[in-house]
Amino acid sequence: MTTSKLLVCSVFCGSEFDRFWLDLQRRQVAQTFGEFDHAVYLSHRAKPELFSESTIVGTSSEGDKWEHRDGVRALTQYCQRNPGYSGYLVLDSDAFPIASGWKDTLEYYLARFNKRYAAAIRPENLDTFPHPCVVYAQQPEAIWFSYKSTVNLLGQPVTDLACGFDEFFPLLKTNRKSLHPILATIYFDLFYHHGCGSRMFASRATNIGYYDRILARSSNSSDEILQLLQADPQGFVETLY
């Protein structure tokens, strides 16, 4: 199969916000790119009827504490079984493209710096590894995820799900306006990632107290930031970049 379509892949955890994130992600991909197929891996808590326009590649079993890992691995295998797409975009359920031409932009930079794929890097969470919240590759062989043991920017040990290959182009936080050090992030002016959009807010950087002083001055809670996005997604994102 050879097609001009894009293959977009996401894991959905079965939260009350699944419909919101699904509709927003699909709409944004269509508006910023065009034709695409959508492959999803679902938690056992998710409602399959919400995903009638997507291909469900698997579902976690109840009690599976590794469902995100199992999900991205299932999606990786699905990508590799389906070569011939014009590109492969892996997104967290609460992530989506925001700029038309994002694919051409990424392919330009991948060629310029001779990299296999592009991925978000989250120094705002003190991380240095390529994170699977936003990953783009032209070939499915470039997509692979595994648990990585490393140290964060404070030198503390960290083990987390990460992209497996080293030859990546980093997508860094580029917000002109930041409501929160971790949440509502714009990556490389091309993608939005909400962060904890389907669960209670927590991150390694906030859990260890790195942002205590900054968050004490913040006027926006995680709930309020989500409500702002829900009320007007396009207008909200435009205020950030």
pLDDT for 1 equals: 63
Q: For residue 85, what are its two tokens?
A: 């797409």
Dist CA 168 CA 150 (whole Å):
17
pLDDT at position 217 is 83
The string of pLDDT tens digits covering residues 102-123 is 999 999 999 999 999 999 999 9
pLDDT at 198: 76
- The structure tokens listed for 97 are 């493209």
What tens digit of pLDDT does each residue of 120-165 get?
A: 999 999 999 999 999 999 999 999 999 999 999 999 999 999 999 9
Alpha helices by DSSP H, listed for the chain, are 18-32, 67-81, 102-112, 204-207, 212-216, 222-231, 233-240
Fold exhibited by the domain 6-172: Spore Coat Polysaccharide Biosynthesis Protein SpsA; Chain A (3.90.550)
232: tokens are 């007007």
Specify the range with the lowest mean pLDDT, choosing from 24-38, 77-91, 168-182, 191-205: 191-205
pLDDT (average), residues 157-177: 95
Whose structure tokens read 């989250």? 122
Measuring CA to CA, which residue among 45, 46, 145 is closest to residue 88? Answer: 145
Is pTM beyond 0.85 here? yes
Give the closest residue to 7 by CA, choosing from 77, 63, 73, 90: 90
Strands 55-59 and 191-193: unpaired
